[in-house]
Amino acid sequence: MELDDLMIAAAAALGFISLCKNLLAFARWLHAALVRKPKNLRDYGLWAVVTGPTDGIGKALAFELASKGLNLVLVGRNPDKLEATSSELRERYGAAVEVKTVTADFAKLSGEEIAAAMAGATEGLDVGLLVNNAGVAYPYPRYFHEVDRELMESVLRVNLNAVVWVTKGVIDGMLKKKRGAILNIGSGSSVYVSSYPLQTLYASTKAFMAMFSRSIGLEYKEQGIDVQCQVPLFIATKMTMLRRRPLLVPSAEMFSRASVRWIGYELQCNPYWLHAVQGFVIRSLDAITIRYGSRYLKWMRKDGLEHDRLL
Ligand SMILES: NC(=O)c1ccc[n+]([C@@H]2O[C@H](COP(=O)([O-])OP(=O)(O)OC[C@H]3O[C@@H](n4cnc5c(N)ncnc54)[C@H](OP(=O)(O)O)[C@@H]3O)[C@@H](O)[C@H]2O)c1
């Protein structure tokens, strides 16, 4: 065989292997999204702790978990919003679901204080699921030097510090009973593109969360604790200020329905099917996504600055 023929054969073999790998991944994804039975979340324990349950994804997840018969510990910074969410839950589910609230501003408390508050609030409860959902992004895109101190502290403390310390406060109880699940709401911004300018701190904290989740996921698998990081793309919430758009931006409720079906399985996943498709495309077109994405983010920054000036 000539060298040219050998190279063509090798390239064809590599292409075939890559095609098979992608087809296999797609088949596994289809199975997980459509066929696989969701876990019975009550098998982990009767209570779920949800951070950031007063708006957006966290609120939708709280309702979704209540619909599965889980009691809830809601952890938020605003007592009025916490009370309003609890009342809505009680109205909808009555005595079937117990709700406790914990007021904790993650941007202000130290790590030790957060862990102590969580351990205190969950003492004596059969906590099976922890959802680390609370999160903060810049209100609009900006360069790193434009992020003021308060916003910087807030992003780092809520997205990074609180995830670690809330987990610390809850995991001992799960370890004792050798049963539990942790769901961390990460972001596609840290996994589908190779960089995310103008939301640098946000995307970096989410990259931390993804690595933290995958790593403790392996540490505790054999102790009966299933850890998962979900990495959604855009969802219509107060954080993104986007409206729901068919085929592009789901509502928090649509995302949450998909989200709970995946809890307890992969270390990292994108549960909403359209996000998974979007993620595949974005990853395949990384350079183009970053080029045009950056232009869009710069336009959003200008718009945000203009809006600030008018205030
Ligand atoms: N929306 C998206 O497109 C998207 C995409 C990927 C990932 N995510 C992630 O999903 C999670 C939820 O985002 P979302 O879009 O639902 O945001 P959201 O609507 O702004 O809700 C965020 C939640 O976090 C709480 N929170 C904010 N700062 C806090 C603090 N200092 N202490 C305690 N709680 C605090 C908020 O409380 P208040 O009600 O008091 O404001 C609210 O309950 C975040 O981790 C975000 O990074 C969102």
Is position 296 annotated as part of the catalytic site? no
Residues 6+ apart with CB under 8 A from 185: 57, 58, 131, 132, 133, 135, 229, 230, 232
Residues 6+ apart with CB under 8 A from 236: 242, 243, 244, 245, 249, 250, 251, 252
Q: What distance in Å separates the CA atoms of residue 29 and residue 97, rounded to the nearest whole number?
A: 33
Query: What is the token pair recorded at 115?
Result: 């862990």
CA distances from 305 to 27, 140, 299 (A): 45, 8, 10
- Report the chain's terminal Cα–Cα distance, integer Å: 74
Residue 3's pLDDT band (cuts 50, 70, 90): confident
Across residues 223-242, what is the average pLDDT?
A: 97
Tens of pLDDT along 120-160?
999 999 999 999 999 999 999 999 999 999 999 999 999 99
Q: What distance in Å separates the CA atoms of residue 216 and residue 125, rounded to the nearest whole number?
A: 23
From the CA of 126, how far away is ligand 1's center (Å)? 26
Residues 225, 182: contact at Cβ < 8 Å?
Answer: yes
pTM of the model: 0.95
Residue 268: is it exposed, middle or buried by C-beta count within 10 angstroms (0-12/13-18/19+)? middle
Pocket of ligand 1, candidates 118, 133, 209, 268: which has the most ligand atoms within 8 Å of its Cβ, to mutate? 133
Q: Which atom of ligand 1 is nearest to the CA of 57?
A: 16
What domains can you pick out in the chain, each with its CATH number? Answer: 39-310 (3.40.50.720)
From the CA of 20, how far away is ligand 1's center (Å)? 38
Tally Cβ neighbours within 10 Å of residue 28: 12
Q: Which atom of ligand 1 is nearest to the CA of 238?
A: 19
DSSP state of 299: H
Residue 85: predicted pLDDT: 98
From the CA of 134, how far away is ligand 1's center (Å)? 5
Tens of pLDDT along 39-97?
999 999 999 999 999 999 999 999 999 999 999 999 999 999 999 999 999 999 999 99
DSSP state of 250: -
Residues 146, 302: contact at Cβ < 8 Å?
Answer: no
